[in-house]
Structures are given as C-alpha cells and as structure tokens.
Amino acid sequence: MSDLHTVNKSPFEKNSLESCLRLSKSGSAILLYEDGVYGALKGTAVENMIASVVGDRKIYVLGPDYKARGLDETRIIDGVEVVDYAGFVDLVEANDKVQAWV
Amino acid sequence: MSDLHTVNKSPFEKNSLESCLRLSKSGSAILLYEDGVYGALKGTAVENMIASVVGDRKIYVLGPDYKARGLDETRIIDGVEVVDYAGFVDLVEANDKVQAWV
Amino acid sequence: MKFSIQVNEGPYQHQASDSAYQFTKAALEKGHECFRIFFYHDGVLNGTRLTTPPQDDRNIVKNWTELAEKYDLDLVVCVAAAQRRGIVDDGEAERNGKDATNIAPKFRISGLGQLVEAAIQSDRLVVFGD
Amino acid sequence: MKFSIQVNEGPYQHQASDSAYQFTKAALEKGHECFRIFFYHDGVLNGTRLTTPPQDDRNIVKNWTELAEKYDLDLVVCVAAAQRRGIVDDGEAERNGKDATNIAPKFRISGLGQLVEAAIQSDRLVVFGD
Amino acid sequence: MSDTKNFMFLNRRAPYGTIYAWESLEVVLIAAAFEQNVSLMFVDDGVYELTKGQDTTGIGMKNFSPTYRTLGDYEVRHMYVDKASLEARGLSADDLVQVEWEDWETEESVDNIVEVVDSDRVAELLDESDVVFSF
Amino acid sequence: MSDTKNFMFLNRRAPYGTIYAWESLEVVLIAAAFEQNVSLMFVDDGVYELTKGQDTTGIGMKNFSPTYRTLGDYEVRHMYVDKASLEARGLSADDLVQVEWEDWETEESVDNIVEVVDSDRVAELLDESDVVFSF
C-alpha cells in the first residue's frame, strides 16, 4: 500500500511536517499545501528535513499556494514536484488513502 | 519597564514559547496558560528551555489550566510559580503592558 | 472514483474551506463523484447565509452553494457542532426554541452518522482543517 | 485599573473565549474596570444568540451576556469581521439585505475604531487568541 | 466492497486548548455504532488526551476525559500511543488512563487496551488502516 | 495621559493560510487614522507577509500584499523585520517589498522604511512600545 500525506502547516510554526516525515512509510507521497509550501523552499533552516527524504518519499508542492505566497519556482528543493489542484486530485486517486497532518 | 508575556500554545506543537523566550527582555514576566502549561512540566524535551531562564525571567503557570490537563503540581519545574485567574489579573496590573505570543 | 470531503474550519479565518472548495471543484471537473461534503467543528460555519464578505473578495458560502447546485452535491452540517456554534435550520429552530434561522441554501443539518457513512461508502475521505 | 480585552476566536473551537471570560470576571471581581471587550476575527462568533450547547457544558455566549448585564460591560463585535462570518443585527440586516439577525443580547456591532479607542483609553489591552 | 472498514483516528491535539480532541471522540462513539473496526492513535500532543486526573472545575469547561475509559464498552479494540511523543513530554504509561475491554459474547477480556508503540509501528498501523480520520 | 500612544503590531503569521495577517492590517489602517504612532514588527512566519510577487489568482483569494506598500501613506513610520526569522526561512531583504515614506508637511522622505533588525533590537522595540497588538 502507498498513502498520500498532506501537510498544510508551516514547518517553522508547527510540528506537522516533522511528525509526517517521522511517521510516514518509505514510498509514501507527501503533498505540501497552504502554509505547508514554505517547506519546499531551498536554503531554509528546514531544507534538510525535506531534502533528506526526497527519493525515499515523493514530495509534491501545490503550485497555486506556492505562487500565492510570492515564492519563485526556481527556488524549490530539487526533486520536489509542483502540482495544481487537478494534480492534487490525481494524487488522492493514485494512492490508497489520504492521511492529513492537520 | 517590565512586560508580561503570555504563551497559550504547547511548546511541542508551536514555536510561540521559543520566540517569546528569544524576544523578551531580561526581567520580564512570562505566564504559561491554556496549552502553554505543558511547558512547565519537569522531565520534558523542552524543560531546559524554561529552566535556563528561571531567575532571569519570572515564569508563572496558570493553575486552573494546569490542573485541567491532569498534571501534578509537584512536577512543575523549580522556580515556576502557580497563579490563578486573580493572579493573572495581578500580573497584568503589576507589569507595564502585556505581549501575547498567540 | 467516489470522494468524500471533510471541512473542519469556518470560512475566512483559515484557508481550509477554500482548499476544500478548490479540491472538490477540481475533482468534479475531472469527472469524479463527490458522495458528500461534511462540515464539522467550525466547518459548520460555512453553512450560514448571513455572511456579507467584501465585494472584492470571494464569497465562500456562495461558492459552496453554487457548486452544490451545479453538481447536486450533498452539503451536510454536523448537528452537534452546529448547535454549539449557532447554525440553525427550521427544524433546529423549532426544537431548540430559536427565533431565527441562518442556514444557507443547499446545506442541510444532520448527524455524525453521515460522516461515518461517507467514510464507509466512499473510496477516499479527504480532510481539510487547521 | 482600566482594562480592555480583545477576543480573537469563536466559542468552543478554541479556549481563547473561555480564558478571556475567566480573566474578565476575575478582573471585575477584583474591582478593576473593563472599558471594553472587543471581539475580532472569529471572536465575533461569540455574539450569536443561536447557539444551543449541550446541557452539561458551559454556555459561552450566555456567560458573556450575563457578565455584561451584571457589570454593564461594552461587548463590541467588529463589523468587518462580522460581515465575513455572518453575525448580523437589525442595522446590518437592513444594510446588507439579510432576512434574519442572530446577534446576542448585550452585544453590539461597531467598527475597528472601537478597538483602537479602547487601546488608547485603557491602561492595559489583553489579547486572547489562537 | 465490504461495509466494515478499519478506521483509524489520528489524535494529535491536546485537550481543552481546542475542541478537536472532544469532537473527535464524538465521531469515535458514532463510528463504533456503525460496527466498524475502530482504533485510536495518539501522537504528538494527542498523548495528553489520555492523562489521568484531569480536573476542569477551575476553567469551567466540561471534563470529557472519563469518556476515554469507556471506549472499550463501545467496542474500540485498540488505543495506540506513540512512544517518542510520550517520552518527549516527560510522561510514561503510568500517567495515562487505563481502558478495559471485554467481548460480551466470547467473554474474552483485556485489562488495558492502551498500548505504547514505537514510530515504525505507528507508521505501519496508519498504513494498514482503510480510513484515517484527522481532526 | 496623552492620547497619542506608541502602537506596535506584532505579526507572526503567514498570509493566506489564516486571515490574521490581513485583518491585522485592517487595524493598522484604522490606528493610523487615530493619529497614533504606529510601527509594525514582523517575526517568525510574519516575515512571509512582506514577500514580493504574491499572486493569489490560483487560490481564488484576495491578494492583500499591495496594501503593505501603501503603509507609508498611512503615516506608518517603521516596519521592522526580525533578522533571525528571515534567515531561518532562506530569505533576505531583497525578497521583501519596499515601502516608501514621505512627510507631506516637511517633505522629509525615506526610500524604504522596512528595516531588518536583530533579536536584541526586536526585544527592545517591543519593550519600548505602549501597546502591543497580537493577532
């Protein structure tokens, strides 16, 4: 089985991403959206948290949320893939279930 | 001048306490209430964050919130003082203003 | 595929309701079925017709109502959560002696069993919250 | 001493409104003055008379109303925040073409200037939020 | 598709500061009535939901913690607690309520269905569920 | 007591995920109209409020970021950004909007009132204010 995990909180404010990474299985998909998108940026204090699991987990970031926050797509951590809402829907369909780390 | 800082978030979930400690002046008073009271417990991963400023800052914990959460007053970090709502009011009166780290 | 959506926050304070709406819309446009949208916790506050958001901003309640009209969606507000927060339809007004109602068009108030049923009947449950 | 209180969250979802109530009550019982209680963000949702909380739990809206009656408190709901979230009095209903009101007794709807004035006039502003 | 699913309730919030823990519990009680296989997982601040001796008289809020102890009667079979979350918070299993379980038909019983598990097991249990409820 | 106070708005929330940043800004605009000395402090995720190039068309929400650039016209004189918060988030002053300020009477002007300050200065500025608004 493979699950989609969703994280909508800033990793600088809340512990949701950290817990998601600790408690999700190898091979899972993780979608960062809403304030969760800040975790996808290069050069931050939490970059390594994401970068170290790219490959083991598949990391996605919701483009509309990322753009809303004024961040540049060239600054996304390598290996993180940008999706839109339709892509979010596809991820929900493609995985067995969704675990929300609200 | 001396300010009262209030922290109502669990230090395990959010960064409010950490920011409050970093950005409050020596001699300030800090009141932990609501889910903030969890920071007052001995033996936790954040104990040192509080213990290291006791003396430099005056730390208070709201008793009614602490008791509601099933914690034992004997397990409060040394130097942290328990107050009730009337004591909360007194702290607001005794300090020059209140800074809420919501 | 058959989806159900759970919305845990009210309109405007958190993005949860916006995200849920955008997701639901995208799913429907892709031809998926939405078995039920269940509004829980402060999410029940999406179901009031009394909001008047600024003209230059989106109208979240209206967005939900119009999406429900277009796709015949089942928008269910949890009764227990609604009672705590003051979302009332005719039946609730009568039962609890309230002198007004505020439920928005296409929303209905029902029990938590509707959420459990949605989770059983649907292929996926997607939760949007704080 | 003269206090003003700001409440940023609605009833039940967060403890903020409970804490604000307990603090205000304690301040009044100690003989302090409360110049104004200002409800902002989801805090405006404390001002609905349509709630019916479970019998064995506290009634937050009623608590505020009764405290206001006892001490003649000024409970002010921010109009802009209220419009976004559907808190309506007679004036707002007429202005925005709403067919119902839901404001609770002793609450009144007014502008953000009331918060700024409270901060200017009071010795202390105490904020309760998420 | 069978009408019985493995429901997992993922609890990550402290009680009282927000209502999520309490309203989540209300769903648990209903789900059990629908005869689903219901398990609860306590992670992060969710472990605080199970502390013994909660006393809310001073804050004027309803103390809902006794409900956890009755979950065995609602046919909840498993309550898992994340070990790392518990330890980070300076707590141990002794600080948590015990929940008895008994099968009325088979008279099989368990003294305490609250079980502390490690991170790998948490991930596995979440993964094995059919539906994860998050509040 | 003078009717002019030093108001400090402490902004610690990212925009769009919650409404606090936006509704806080509405108070700033009103406070300026009351002729108070208004300063803004951006700490933690609050620094994200000032990022350039916000584009909300994809999420259907109102883009309120242009309002920050007009604050100089509302007689806001100081906008402080916590250096540590900015750096932890991989951002620099170049990523933030610039806010011009001009005194219509004296014609005194400042190209950009957004100022990055260190932690000690943040603590001092908060301490020196008469009222701290937190949202």
pLDDT tens by residue, F105-131: 888 999 999 999 999 999 999 999 999
First to last CA, chain B: 22
User: Long-range contacts: C112-115, Cβ < 8 Å, 24+?
Assistant: C112/C40, C112/C78, C112/C79, C112/C80, C112/E26, C112/E27, C112/E30, C113/E30, C113/E33, C113/E34, C114/C36, C114/C38, C114/C76, C114/C78, C115/C6, C115/C36, C115/C38, C115/C40, C115/C76, C115/C78, C115/E27, C115/E30
Share of chain F above pLDDT 90, in %: 88
Instruction: Give D120's contacts in chain F (Cβ within 8 Å).
Output: 3, 5, 34, 36
The SS3 assignment for C124 reads strand
Mean of the pLDDT values across residues D68-78? 98
Q: What is the pLDDT of residues E84-128, one digit of tens each?
A: 999 999 999 999 999 999 888 888 999 999 999 999 999 999 999
Q: Domain for residue E75, yes or no?
A: yes
Type of residue found at A97:
K
- Among the options D7, D61, D67, D78, which is catalytic? D78
Distance CA C47, CA C64 (A): 9
Q: What is the pLDDT of residues C37-76, one digit of tens each?
A: 999 999 999 999 999 999 999 999 999 999 999 999 999 9
From F104, F52, F43, select the one nearest F79 (Cα to Cα).
F43
Instruction: Give A93's contacts in chain C (Cβ within 8 Å).
Output: 1, 32, 124
**Which class is B4-101 in CATH?**
alpha beta
Q: Which residues contact F104 (CB under 8 A, 6 or more apart)?
A: none
Specify the pLDDT at position B75: 97
Chain B interface includes E88 (CB < 8 A): yes
Cβ D41–F133 below 8 Å, yes or no? no
Chains C and B touch (3+ CB pairs under 8 A): no
User: For strand F109-110 and strand F101-102, is the pairing parallel, antiparallel, or unpaired?
Assistant: antiparallel
Instruction: Give B102's contacts in chain F (Cβ within 8 Å).
Output: 12, 134-135
Q: What is the pLDDT of residues E54-64, one digit of tens each?
A: 999 999 999 99
Q: What is the pLDDT of residues D6-23, one digit of tens each?
A: 999 999 999 999 999 999
At residue D125's C-alpha, the angle toward residues D124 and D128, to 5°, is 140
Indicate the residue of E17, E19, E59 with minimum beta-carbon distance to D12.
E19
Chain A interface includes B14 (CB < 8 A): yes
Q: Is the pLDDT of residue E1 over 70?
A: no
Chain C interface includes D111 (CB < 8 A): no
Distance CA A44, CA A41 (A): 7
Do C3 and C123 contact (CB within 8 A), yes or no?
Answer: yes
Distance CA D39, CA D37 (A): 7
Distance CA C101, CA D86 (A): 12
Q: Which residues contact E122 (CB under 8 A, 6 or more apart)?
A: A23, E41, E43, E80, E82
Active site (annotated) includes residue C34 = no
Q: Domain for residue F1, yes or no?
A: no
Burial E68-84 (b: 16+ CB within 10 A, else e): beebbeebbebbbbbbb
Do F110 and F100 contact (CB within 8 A), yes or no?
Answer: yes
Q: Is the pLDDT of residue A44 over 80?
A: yes
Instruction: Give B8's contacts in chain D (Cβ within 8 Å).
Output: 15-16, 19, 128-129
First to last CA, chain D: 26
Tell me which residue has tokens 């020596």. Answer: B26
Nearest CA in chain E to A14: E44
- Per residue, the 3-state secondary structure of D91-113, as one string, reads HHHHHHCCCCCCECCCEEEECCH
Residue A88, judged by CB atoms within 10 A of its CB (0-12, 13-18, 19+), counts as buried
Q: How far is CA A28 from CA A98, B89, C123, E76, in A?
A: 10, 50, 18, 28
Cβ E19–D13 below 8 Å, yes or no? yes
- Among the options C67, C78, C87, C115, which is catalytic? C78
B73: phi > 0 → left, psi -120 to 50 → alpha, else beta; which? alpha
Specify the pLDDT at position C92: 98
Chain F interface includes C58 (CB < 8 A): yes
Bridge partners for A30 per DSSP? A5, A59
Token reading at C54: 């600024």
Distance CA C42, CA E20 (A): 10
Instruction: Give E65's contacts in chain B (Cβ within 8 Å).
Output: 70
3-state helix, strand, coil in chain A (%, to 5): 40, 25, 40
Q: Domain for residue E92, yes or no?
A: yes
DSSP assignment letter at D56: T
41-70 in A: which are within 8 Å (CB) of F?
41-45, 47, 63-65, 67-70
Q: Domain for residue E1, yes or no?
A: no
Do F77 and F109 contact (CB within 8 A), yes or no?
Answer: no
State the residue range of the domain holding E118.
6-134
Chain E interface includes D15 (CB < 8 A): yes
Q: What is the pLDDT of residues F1-26, one digit of tens each?
A: 467 999 999 999 999 999 999 999 99
E strand or H helix that includes residue A86: helix A85-94
The domain tally of chain F equals 1
Q: What is the pLDDT of residues A56-80, one digit of tens each?
A: 999 999 999 999 999 999 999 999 9
E strand or H helix that includes residue B83: strand B81-83
Q: How many CB pairs under 8 A join D and E?
A: 26
Residue E46's domain is classified under what CATH number? 3.40.1260.10
Would the ipTM clear 0.95, i.e. be above it?
Answer: yes
Q: How do the domains of chain B map onto residue ranges?
A: 4-101
Chains D and A touch (3+ CB pairs under 8 A): no
Q: Which residues contact F106 (CB under 8 A, 6 or more apart)?
A: none
Q: What is the pLDDT of residues B11-49, one digit of tens each?
A: 999 999 999 999 999 999 999 999 999 999 999 999 999
Tally Cβ neighbours within 10 Å of residue E92.
12
Nearest CA in chain C to E30: C113
Specify the pLDDT at position E105: 84
